Amino acid sequence: MDDSSAETARTTLVVVFGGQSAEHDVSCVTAAHVLRAVDRRKYSIVAIGIDRDGQWHLAEGAMAALDRGPNELPTRLEAAGREVSSAPVLSAAASAGPVVVMPLLHGPLGEDGTIQGLLELMGLPYVGTGVLGSALGMDKGMAKNALAAFGIPQPNFVALREHEVTVSRLDEVVDALGLPMFVKPANMGSSVGVAKVSTRDELMPAVRAALAYDEWIVCEEAIVGREIEVAVLGNIETVASVAGEIVPGNDFYDYEDKYVTDGASLIIPADLTTEQSDEVRRLALRVFAALRCEGLARVDFFFEPEGRGFLCNEVNTMPGFTPISMYPKLWQASGVSYPELIDRLVDLAIERHTRRRRNTVR
């Protein structure tokens, strides 16, 4: 096969990053790390950045830097460049041959089923969970309700909508959950808007801060236990990575700990017995299936060794791929290199797309 034939055979990988959520910066770092790891012999790259106002840009600067070599890429991509419209730019990428979209978007308007719906309408294969699973995984309140229906153990919680927040209702929440507790926006990630509340006087300010990000919030009992995470990969047939443990550098594993100071310690594999490791990995696969996840997810647990055992905290259907992110580290420890992980995700996207098209196209 000559060079031109090899070029034609490559799959176009459309990497979409940025977005309008508070996790915009995390997405820009994730995209830079993914592009550095992509095997250019297998993929042609189209990079698209979505700015904070929702405008799509063809990230020509990032693509030019990548053409010069992976080390030429900045550590954080900019969602800037020539303005484009979503459907035409995606259609143009697909017209060149095989295409897979990798939406590296975290948080609302990206990880919540919105861009997944666009890609479904356009008939394009994409990495990650579909519309329903993405929406469920993003909304902590609905995810917890679904997991409860499947009998998945988890911390006690109360979900509230903005108009339900009153002094008397918050008193009921304190009676139900006790103090301390955590208050979180229902639709957000990376610990954005999350606060640990230790006194009744701290509760209303924490609720107001969470409501700045979403009209739904989740109040959850504070668990005294270890933080264990498992990475899951697959569609119908799924596999779980080794379990890892996070020892926060701050009072809890917050945004600063994750992306600014790198103060947390990541212990891989976690110090668990064989039985405990097997149990949490099986539980991660149950959670993945219960929420209709596909492709990838990171499932987070609390572990009370002398209490209730493993409690599911939350699911992240598009976990970070930054150099200090747990998801790729867990797979590296499980024998899957970063480039191989990308290849597997692309293959899973194609498999899922082919399978679902059989059900939707007549």
The C-alpha torsion from 283 through 335 and 318 to 58, rounded to 10°, is -170
315 has which bridge partners? 299
Catalytic residue among 21, 191, 277, 316: 316
Q: Which of 43, 213, 255, 259 is catalytic?
A: 259
Determine whether 25 is an active site residue.
Answer: no
259 is an active site residue: yes
Among 18, 19, 21, 23, the one annotated catalytic: 23
What tokens appear for 113 in the block?
């089923």
**Rounded CA gap, 128 and 135, in Å?**
12
- Rounded CA-CA distance 153/57 in Å is 43
Choice among 49, 113, 128, 298 that is catalytic: 298
Cα angle, residue 214 at apex, residues 213 and 215 outer, rounded to 5°: 140
Given 320, 327, 344, 352, the catalytic residue: 320
Q: How far apart are CA 336 and CA 354, in angstroms?
A: 25
Active-site residue, from 44, 134, 187, 190: 190
Crossing angle between the packed helical segments 338-360 and 326-333, to the nearest 10 degrees: 100
Query: Is 357 a known active-site residue?
Result: no
Confirm if 75 and 96 have CB atoms less than 8 A apart.
Answer: no
Q: Quick check: is 298 catalytic?
A: yes
Selected catalytic residue, list 27, 133, 300, 352: 300
User: Given 19, 314, 325, 327, which residue is catalytic?
Assistant: 314
Question: Catalytic: 314?
Answer: yes
What secondary structure letter does DSSP report for 258? I
CA atoms of 190 and 3, how far apart (whole Å):
43
Residue 187 known to be catalytic: no
Alpha helix (H) residue ranges in the chain: 3-9, 24-37, 60-68, 86-95, 114-122, 131-138, 140-149, 167-177, 200-211, 255, 274-290, 326-333, 338-360
Indicate which residues carry an active-site annotation.
23, 190, 259, 298, 300, 314, 316, 320
